[in-house]
Amino acid sequence: MEKTFYFPDVGEGIAEGEIVQWLVAKGDFVKEDQPLVEIETDKAVVSLPSPFSGKVTVIQAASGAIIPVGTALLTVETEVPDSETPITGRIAETEDRKTAPPKKDGGSVVGVLKESNEAFVLPANLKAPEKPDTRKIRAIPSVRILAKKLGVDLAELQGSGPDGRIMRDDVEEAAQALTRKAPQDTLPTPIEDRTPLGPVERIPFRGVRRSAARRVTQSSKTVSPVTFVDDADITKLERVRLAKKDLTEEKGFKLTYLPFIIKSVVAGLKAYPFLNASLDETEKEVILKKYYNIGIAVDTPEGLMVFVIKNADQKSILDLAEEISSLTEKAFSRTIALSELKGGTFTLTNYGVIGGIYGTPIINYPEVGILGLGKIEDKAVVRKGEIVIRKMLPLSLTFDHRVIYGAESARFMNTVIEHLEDPDLLLVTGK
């Protein structure tokens, strides 16, 4: 019996995806829950598992194709002659399972899948092959993510750390060795064209850039943006950060300014809840969010991504620092989950790490506010009639003028700055 697997509705409002690569080929035998294909959907790459076991007879969608939800992906023959089926492709059954009703589709695919009434049974004269002994791979999650990003097989490495633990340096050295061995013709060649005015290069507008373009276009067509700018004196905050810096580095992550800024922003959102809202134009209602999910925009090699720190008000400075480090690595390695890119109520964008002082950041619709962080610099400022050197952080707040008025945005910014300039307030309002 042949069954077709369709591109499922993976939730979070996803309507289409791009096929990154197939993990199986025509003629392969697959098991239920075995990964079949990697698809990029709204900035994240997800691996779709098979809902049934059998032999792949047809692959309907090609790599690189952009497909809508409901598109047929591949067809599997679930009843395969014994002479064709390898031992690893069959399922050993107990007597209880033989008599149990066939498993029903759990709704993970689009449409209804008819189930075969026959169960796969391992012939009595055959034994399943024993799993070969494998060396236990010792590596922390961040090292595993780095290895996947660089294309390094951890099973082939001998770790230089305690008890053979694989370290970041081991992975980076292995990646460099792979690069030296790689033939030059494996590098991607640009698609060049010639116009009457001269040569051009054509790049498919897909993936992260296409997704980001769709979102900013929707924002620019919907909201009425206004930008308000100010500066925060973070001299005291810098001393606090440096005092705790070694503690986080011992645990494997850095303590940046972002956790402190998140806590300051949450304090502002609690004081002025219209900044933590969205506008339901259909129902003519402003929806005030009673939870604080802070989006962080990051510049990855693939383009702009915004991951979300959920329930930021309930987490400590160190908790936030660790989560930011973890989600950043996931964003760069394209292992981040869709759920980690959704559900934000307010966004931060830190263009200051690249350069620039003030900006006019675009609101991450349907949110109504976004705070841009400029380049931190030592500046000469006047304090009590004297010129002193202080560490200053430029801030640019873009807000939706349909929901928020200028005076409210200024008061919100004052609250954020007040908490940034007095770290003791962060200790009172945070965990």
Query: Smallest Cα–Cα separation from 45: which of 206, 238, 232, 275?
Result: 206
How far is the CA of 17 from the CAs of 60, 146, 229, 240, 430, in angstroms? 15, 25, 38, 45, 39
- Classify residue 212 as left (phi > 0), alpha (psi -120 to 50) or beta: alpha
- Among the options 72, 401, 408, 418, which is catalytic? 401
- Cα distance between residue 396 and residue 361, in whole Å: 8
Residues 263/320, Cβ–Cβ less than 8 Å: yes
DSSP H helical segments within 204-316, as ranges? 207-222, 235-250, 258-271
HEC string of 102-157? CCCCCCCCCCCCCCCCCCCCCCCCCCCCCCCCCCCCCCCHHHHHHHHHHCCCHHHC
- Cα distance between residue 388 and residue 237, in whole Å: 17
Annotation says 401 is catalytic:
yes
Beta strand 66-68 with 16-22: parallel, antiparallel or unpaired?
A: antiparallel
Query: Smallest Cα–Cα separation from 56: which of 38, 76, 70, 36?
Result: 76
Catalytic residues: 401
